[in-house]
Structure 1
């Protein structure tokens, strides 16, 4: 299908606002890529402003067998929002309202196009926040967070997106508006389809409204910086930290190369001989933070620990976190190409994962840089190579296979928060059993019987 049939164009123009359908190739191009660097040119882009329009779009597309790709702000890294050339993109950027904030219930009702950062700003006067805080929080959408079950540093204490949503409204592949959950923190009334939709990457339904579970903003924070002689010592400390009673609000891991980049590129005040670093944070009322800090400090200390220091000020703490968030783009200074994977294993097996990554790096003579949300067992493994060098490309692929084999053997998953999309689709066949995949395909068929919602994403071919 080279272009939309004229009758479909007229029908879409009739149901959308005057400027709600983009047909010009230059405008469509901006909706054809995401942070995976993959790209496709959709047939058109629809910009609905209300749920009824989304229903009508889906019904029309179903009648004409037209694939639909939902889109937030395109910050995902797995190709999940890259359309095929026969697809209509439905962008939710104009469905971006805060519909309600109820501090007494600790809930906010929002539309999917609202930016995470805009939501946090609206909640701040109420002394509340929504915990998911991916690196792209300032410019990613709530709908995108829902689509891939986004996490971030705070997930170690407060959970990822799935743990902070109470109810959803969504449009299925048949055009029906369905509602799941309620604005309550308890419920035992049928199947929990809200949690099923979260992380489904637009393959089951198009979310048009979300009731979010909010958390009171902590009054105080304490940050510790623990320096280790090597990555093995830091990985062992992660297991100790998560085995004791005080849950850190953040627990981030950086290997030696990351420490150097944070110092040289990010401007963080870090020692030159650091082999690895843990960024540890506790939050809560001032009365309990002394004891929490002491417990975390004791757990962080141990074999290979060179120092554990408290941040001297909030400004110093923020500078270190800013350096951490700048790590991914700064890796381009080490090599022209990188493969960035966000694998996750049980926290107690972090030391084994780090050892496997180091072995893969040595075996393939490549730099592999690790950082990430160690408190959840979620590490970003970055394989650095030169895409113009065929031999390095082969070695990078071999290193990646070794890492995935180790993750699966350790009882982990191939994605902790980035999702599956196109990039990791075939890996599901290795990490999930055939009966499990068959059940997932059956669920997909119930929500989307014609297979029109984000086709080709997440599930590998049968």
Structure 2
């Protein structure tokens, strides 16, 4: 299909009104890529403003058998929002409103194109927040967060996107507008289809409205910085921290190379060490002293160099800013990187760290790790030169070794980035055939013609 069929173009133009359908190649290019650095050129880009328009788009595309790829801001790293050449991109940037904030219910009702950061700013006035806080929160959308079940540092205590959504309205692959879930924190009325859509990466339905579960902001926090001789000692400390009763509100891991980058590139005031844990507790004054003492005691142990408290809010913010800058700063070490976000049971994190180190030694490549240690979610960054064929082959072999270890440890290929296109074929290694068959059956029920984000998530 070289161009959008004239009848479909006319239908969509009438449906969306002036400026609602982008056809110029220069405009379409901007909607053809995501942070995976993959790119495709869609036939057109639709900019709906209402759920009814989304229904009309899906019905018209179904009539012409045209695939549809939903898009937020393209911050994902797996190619999930990269379109094929014969596809229509549906960008939700104009559906970016907060429809309601109900503090008494701890619920916000929002459209999918709303930026996470804008939502948080509005909620702060009510003393509330929505827990998912990925690094891209300032410029990623709620719809995109839901599509890949985004998490972030606070997920260790407050959960990821799936744990913080109550109800959804969505348009299926047949153009039906369905309401799933309810804006209540308890419910036992049939299947939990709302949570099923979270993490489905736009392959089952297009989310047009979300009722989100909100959490009151804690009045106070305590931040600790624990330094270790090596990553093994830090990983063992993570297991101890998560085995004791006090749940940290954040628990982040950085290996020695990340510490160096945070210091030299991010400007954080950190001494050299083999690994670092960033630990926080939140709550009111009556519980914080005991919480800090418990976390400090668990952090200390073999290989611990020191545990210190953040001097003030400025020091805390500087360290977190350096942590959030880690991913782009890795490109100062090598022209290419493979960034994976594997996850294992927290108790097996030391084994995962050991497996990553073995892969680095065995394939003679630097592998830098940081991530959400309290969830067992490690960002594994394999650094190499893509122009060097031998290095590229070793990088791929190292990646396969890491994935094999993750599966062996009872983990999953992705903790929060999703599967998309990049990890699609690997999913067959991680899940039994019967499970994949059930997923395909669910896909067929929601999207019988296979038009919603085809080729993503499920292997052929």
Post-superposition Cα deviations, 1:238-276, rounded to whole Å, max 9, x if no partner, equal 00000000000000000000000001101111112x000
Give 1:10 deviation, angstroms: 0.7
Residue correspondences, number: 460
Other-structure match for 1:43: 43
- In the aligned structure 2, how far is the partner of 1:406 from the partner of 1:153? 24
The TM-score with structure 1 as length reference comes to 0.99
Other-structure match for 1:349: 348
Other-structure match for 1:410: 409
Other-structure match for 1:139: 139
Structure 1 stretches (4+) deviating beyond 6 angstroms? none
Q: Is 1:10 equivalent to 2:27 in the alignment?
A: no
SS of alignment partner, residue 126 of structure 1:
coil
Equivalent residues in 2 for 1:75-224 (5 A)?
Answer: 75-224=75-224
Other-structure match for 2:434: 435
Other-structure match for 2:19: 19
Equivalent residues in 2 for 1:172-321 (5 A)?
Answer: 172-272=172-272, 274-321=273-320
SS of alignment partner, residue 426 of structure 1:
coil
SS of alignment partner, residue 226 of structure 2:
strand
Post-superposition Cα deviations, 1:386-416, rounded to whole Å, max 9, x if no partner, equal 1111111111111111100000000000000
Query: Where does structure 2 lack aligned partners over 5 or more consecutive residues?
Result: none
Post-superposition Cα deviations, 1:193-238, rounded to whole Å, max 9, x if no partner, equal 0110000000000000000000001100110000000000000000
Other-structure match for 2:453: 454
Other-structure match for 2:335: 336
Other-structure match for 2:382: 383
- In the aligned structure 2, how far is the partner of 1:299 from the partner of 1:17? 60
- In the aligned structure 2, how far is the partner of 1:288 from the partner of 1:316? 23
| CA-based RMSD | 0.4
SS of alignment partner, residue 206 of structure 1:
strand
Other-structure match for 2:360: 361
SS of alignment partner, residue 210 of structure 2:
strand
Q: Is 1:74 equivalent to 2:78 in the alignment?
A: no
- In the aligned structure 1, how far is the partner of 2:266 from the partner of 2:88? 40
SS of alignment partner, residue 175 of structure 2:
coil
- In the aligned structure 1, how far is the partner of 2:441 from the partner of 2:162? 22
Give 1:376 deviation, angstroms: 0.1
Give 1:164 deviation, angstroms: 0.2
- In the aligned structure 2, how far is the partner of 1:407 from the partner of 1:7? 49
Post-superposition Cα deviations, 1:260-313, rounded to whole Å, max 9, x if no partner, equal 0001101111112x0000000001111110000000000000000000000000
The TM-score with structure 2 as length reference comes to 1.00
Give 1:17 deviation, angstroms: 2.5
- In the aligned structure 2, how far is the partner of 1:341 from the partner of 1:15? 40
Equivalent residues in 2 for 1:57-72 (5 A)?
Answer: 57-72=57-72
- In the aligned structure 2, how far is the partner of 1:281 from the partner of 1:383? 28
- In the aligned structure 2, how far is the partner of 1:451 from the partner of 1:255? 42
- In the aligned structure 1, how far is the partner of 2:287 from the partner of 2:222? 11
SS of alignment partner, residue 39 of structure 2:
coil
- In the aligned structure 1, how far is the partner of 2:258 from the partner of 2:77? 20
Give 1:31 deviation, angstroms: 0.2
Give 1:428 deviation, angstroms: 0.7
